[in-house]
Amino acid sequence: MNSKIDRRITEILNKAEDRVPVSREEAMTLMGVQLHTRACYAIMETANRLSRAQFGNKGENHYHIGLNVEPCPMDCLFCSLTRKAGIFKEKIEFPLDQIVAWAKQAEQHGADGLNLMTTGTYPFARLLEVGRLLKTETAVPLVANTRDINHREGEALLEAGFVGAYHAVRLGEGRDTPFDREKRIRTIQVFRDVGLLWMNCVEPVGPEHAADEIVDLMLLARDFGAAYSGVMRRINFPGSPMERFGMISELEMARLVAISRLVMGDVPKAHCTHEPHTASLMAGANLFFPEVGSSPRDGRADTEKGRGTGIERCQRMQREMEWDPSLPSNCFEMKAANAAVVT
Ligand code: SF4
């Protein structure tokens, strides 16, 4: 019977509530707390309260548009869009009028941001072109999710109309992917240097990941000032080489969402989770990614017709959990204020 909360846990929760940064050792102590215990619900409750106070009950929705499908030669083990997975044989680029229609649909439904995702070898110039087009077609802030970039490319993103970039150092980076962790961190530094918001998630979490590997990425996000950094679980597409490890449950994701929320302290503007589900909305998460176009978790080219959750459903889940998607975004408020000063 887990009736008592360890004094050490209570001390860490009090510290987190007072916005004193949680140390690595304290984060590891939280990671040792099991599901279904009173202590675990205390962690979730504290994270929930912290987020509601800091984000003012705003439910955020950053609309993911996957611009293209390809058998990607980067062959990240967890991704369905790889050459090795063999699900997609042809390159597909969604037509510009389809992308504009998705963006307008997002805007009509009150999306707070548009995340444009590309596969590993998508031409950077093309991403800029899409950015410039959407900048004229919608007023929704643009976020790029693409390969590693240098300062010149970072400035080009800004000029094309992007205000932020999603870029995660993935769990198993360099082992399950061909990418260099340090290079990915250098890209995050580029965003900071040129003035792009950096968006992040600890991902893609599976049952095989050790607590210290997960905590490492939580601390990286806090240290580099991520605008948001919650938790996304790995989805095993049929035939995935990661299938043997299984997947974590939504409840386990909520436990990790809560711990990452406490680690992030007063740094973030929102706290994300993926795929959308309600458990994490009572554990500190307030940000969902509705999805259309390509997705590294799907066997369908357009995830809107597959696993992807639409924006109306995301907003309905948020309202049911008493987060209000109609409030103004906290993530992009600074950018909006800066733009107002400039004009
Ligand atoms: S995660 Fe990105 S870079 Fe890696 S295989 Fe998938 S599309 Fe390519």
Contacts with 321 (C-beta within 8 Å, 6 or more apart), sequence order:
278, 281, 282
Q: 337 pLDDT band (50/70/90 cuts)?
A: very low
Distances (CA, A) of 133 to 101, 104, 162, 291: 12, 12, 11, 20
Which of 297, 241, 300, 329 has the alpha carbon at shortest distance from 62? 329
Calculate how far, in angstroms, residue 268's C-alpha sits from the geometric centre of ligand 1: 26
Q: What is the DSSP letter of 275?
A: S
Residue 4 confidence (pLDDT): 85
Q: Which atom of ligand 1 is nearest to the CA of 118?
A: 7
Q: Does residue 271 surpass a pLDDT of 80?
A: yes
Q: 2 pLDDT band (50/70/90 cuts)?
A: low
Count of alpha carbons within 13 Å of 292, Cβ hemisphere only? Answer: 18
Question: pLDDT above 90 covers what percent of the chain?
Answer: 95
CA 160, 161, 163 angle in degrees (round to 5)? Answer: 125
Residue 3 confidence (pLDDT): 65
Residue 148 confidence (pLDDT): 97
Which residue ranges form the domains of the chain, and what is each CATH number? Answer: 7-342 (3.20.20.70)
Q: Does residue 1 surpass a pLDDT of 70?
A: no
Q: What is the DSSP letter of 64?
A: E
pLDDT digits (tens, 9 = 90+) for 96-129: 999 999 999 999 999 999 999 999 999 999 999 9
Q: Does residue 343 surpass a pLDDT of 50?
A: no
Relative orientation angle of helices 24-31 and 211-223, to the nearest 10 degrees? 140
Mean pLDDT on 142-152: 98
Which of 111, 161, 140, 169 has the alpha carbon at shortest distance from 287? 111
Residue that is written with structure tokens 């999603």 in the block: 166
Calculate how far, in angstroms, residue 79's C-alpha sits from the geometric centre of ligand 1: 6
Q: What is the DSSP letter of 59?
A: P
- The Cα–Cα gap between 204 and 234 comes to 4
Question: What residues flank ligand 1, with Cβ below 6 Å?
Answer: 72, 74-76, 79, 81-82, 119-120, 177, 296
Which of 25, 18, 34 has the alpha carbon at shortest distance from 6? 34
Q: 338 pLDDT band (50/70/90 cuts)?
A: very low
Judge whether 137 and 104 are in contact, CB under 8 Å.
yes
Element (H, E) at 93: strand 92-93
- The Cα–Cα gap between 273 and 226 comes to 14
Average pLDDT, the chain: 95
Residue 341 confidence (pLDDT): 43
Which of 62, 131, 139 has the alpha carbon at shortest distance from 104? 139
The pTM for the full model equals: 0.95
Residue 306 confidence (pLDDT): 93
- How do beta strands 273-274 and 228-233 pair? parallel
Q: Does residue 226 surpass a pLDDT of 50?
A: yes
pLDDT digits (tens, 9 = 90+) for 47-82: 999 999 999 999 999 999 999 999 999 999 999 999
99: left (phi over 0), alpha (psi -120 to 50) or beta: alpha
pLDDT digits (tens, 9 = 90+) for 289-315: 999 999 999 999 999 999 999 999 999
Pick from 82, 83, 115, 147 the residue to mutate for probing ligand 1's pocket: most ligand atoms within 8 Å of its CB: 82
Residue 84 backbone dihedrals phi, psi, to 5 degrees: -65, -35
Give the chain's length: 343
Mean pLDDT on 236-241: 94
**What is the full DSSP assignment across 169-216?**
--TTTTTTSS--HHHHHHHHHHHHHHTPEEEEEEEEE-TT--HHHHHH
Residue 339 confidence (pLDDT): 46
Pick from 119, 121, 127, 297 the residue to mutate for probing ligand 1's pocket: most ligand atoms within 8 Å of its CB: 119
